[in-house]
Amino acid sequence: MAINAAKTVLKQGKTALFICDVQEKFVKAIHEFDKIVQNSTKLISALKLLNVPMLVSEQNPTSLGKTIPELDISGAKGPFAKTQFSMYTPEICKELETLCCGGKPDSIILIGVETHVCVENTAIDLRQNGYEVHTVADCCSSRTQEDRLLALERMRDIGCHISTSESVIFKILRDAKHEQFKNILAIIKAPTLYTGLVSVSKI
């Protein structure tokens, strides 16, 4: 299948981050949750330096709790409470209209839980409405690894770009001459934590 390389580009001023339902009640239930959170923290810190706008949702927060305090969502839009299994709610759609420099983003970076439920349903709705979606695999998880990996495959099948946190950061950074390059390097100095996305062969 031919790939339009232009659609894989992430541009400052035309890209936003969606943080999907990283809530208190998921802490003990989600596969590799602590590692997902550490990777997400690194990504969020870098995207803040790059002035990427962020939008946060919470699934039924009365039952599932608030967004975990480990994630710095200061300055983000939301959190927006929801019950549907997609972040593409009327309230969030309204925010999208002016989220990036007074207009809509072209691309959405998508992280959160659960990969096969709210993350996947959000990706489907975003793709159906014309957005490029970059699902950050090492910042997404489910209760089981099987659900997580199969959901990532399905999202790829509908045209999502399945990426990693560092790949996304460098796509927006684009050039070592960027004014935030040294600050970004300090953030990514620690390696991204392995979350079981690929098999590691023993030599």
- Catalytic residues, by residue number, are 21, 82, 118
Question: Positive or negative, the Cα torsion across 74, 115, 81, 60?
Answer: negative
* Number of helices and strands in the chain (H, E): 7, 6
Q: Kindly list the distances between the CA atom of residue 142 and the CA atoms of 29, 31, 203, in Å, as whole numbers in the listed order.
A: 8, 6, 30
- Scan for tokens 């159906």, then name that residue: 128
Helices (H), the chain: 33-49, 61-64, 90-96, 120-128, 145-157, 165-173, 181-188
Taking Cα atoms as reference points, which of 81, 57, 84, 89 lies closest to residue 71?
57
Q: Which helix (H) or strand (E) holds 59?
A: strand 54-59
Q: Are strands 132-141 and 161-163 parallel, antiparallel or unpaired?
A: parallel
DSSP state of 67: B
Taking Cα atoms as reference points, which of 64, 85, 142, 134 lies closest to residue 105?
134
